[in-house]
Amino acid sequence: MIQARISEIEVFLPSRKVSNAEVELLANKNGNYIPTGSITRLFGVNERRFAQSSKQASDLATFAAQSIVNKHGKEKIDCLIFASACSDLIEPATANIVQHKLGLTCPAFDVKNACNSFVTALQIASSFIASGTYQCILIATGEKLSNSIKFDLQSDDDLKNRLAALSFGDAGSAVLVEAADNNSGIKFQRFKTSGKHWELCTIQGGGSMFPFDSDKNYFTGKTSELSEVMFREGGEFVANAFSDAGWSLQEVDHYFTHQVSSKTFEQVAQYFGIPDEKFHKVISEYGNTASASIPLAIHRAIENGKLKRGDKVAIIGLAAGISISVQLLVW
């Protein structure tokens, strides 16, 4: 079977840096709801990036993907997947807008699976490569999460339900997926969905449930309950995936997982007995960037000279819904 690999990866980060002090000031304009230093203590976030109000999710994806298109040429890319929790519109697919902005003519479509949108698109792309349907697939992500933060808090309960959003940041990413050469590529993939927990974290506006309620356009969630479910259902799932793949947790050189908080890394490392230094963290500088967090961390690891071809990599996806995934690859 033909295996797929990530051959190129790029990211885009808006220039505006937003400190915790600024976020706390905005969140406390109606009262002293969040004490100074709480965001750092709870999430390990020091700052994040916010895109300009005039920029869309498609722009963040386009900015990340442009250099890949310029390098390889428009004709080489035969499929475009826009994979994000965010989107420009309900209809049409944001992939159409990204395709137009990049000047591509290939088939394009959206993949939406909350913070696992990117890893889900990677699974789809690898299947296309394996089947011979496409040879060169561009996955572009644009997360403009700043639009989903409600700063106009009305009570302590309001803060509790929307607290996790104060860690959000904006980012774009793009990867090129092609057939693997030699021994590199994706070796194993497994996904799990437990839809019964879908109500734990939501942005409810814009769909058929609440089409006209503007207050539903903001994030709300029971994040502590979601974390408990993730560990309860995810621990055994991840362990079994490694066992079935014939990989040990210790032989992996690099772990990349969706970045919700610094504590998440500590808990996962402790649970599985994995050295903390094998996890690549970018949440302190960029916050929770949803599905862009994993490609952002991979890009940073390459830039820093830590991730090299031939290294063994584990990508662990965690998302509201809930969705959990394990992808094992040789970089």
Interatomic CA distance for residues 92 and 112, integer angstroms: 13
CB 201 within 8 A of CB 327: no
Beta-strand ranges (E) seen in the chain are: 4-12, 16-19, 47-50, 79-83, 108-111, 136-144, 170-179, 185-193, 201-202, 220-221, 254-257, 312-319, 323-330
Q: What percent of the chain has pLDDT over 70?
A: 100
Q: What's the rounded mean pLDDT across residues 83-112?
A: 98
- The chain-wide mean pLDDT, for the chain, equals 94
Residue of 181 and 180 predicted with greater confidence? 180
pLDDT tens-digit series, residues 123-172: 999 999 999 999 999 999 999 999 999 998 888 888 889 999 999 999 99
pLDDT tens-digit series, residues 117-134: 999 999 999 999 999 999
pLDDT tens-digit series, residues 283-309: 999 999 999 999 999 999 999 999 999
pLDDT tens-digit series, residues 184-234: 999 999 999 999 999 999 999 989 999 999 889 999 998 888 888 888 888
- C-alpha closest to that of 86 among 169, 18, 28: 169
Q: Are strands 47-50 and 16-19 parallel, antiparallel or unpaired?
A: antiparallel
Could you give all domains of the chain from N- to C-terminal order, each with its CATH number?
4-179 (3.40.47.10), 185-330 (3.40.47.10)
Helix pair 94-102, 57-72: axis angle to 10 deg = 40
CA distances for 264 relative to 45, 122, 211, 247, angstroms: 12, 23, 34, 22
Does the pTM exceed 0.75?
A: yes
Task: Inform me whether the pLDDT recorded for 1 exceeds 70.
Answer: no
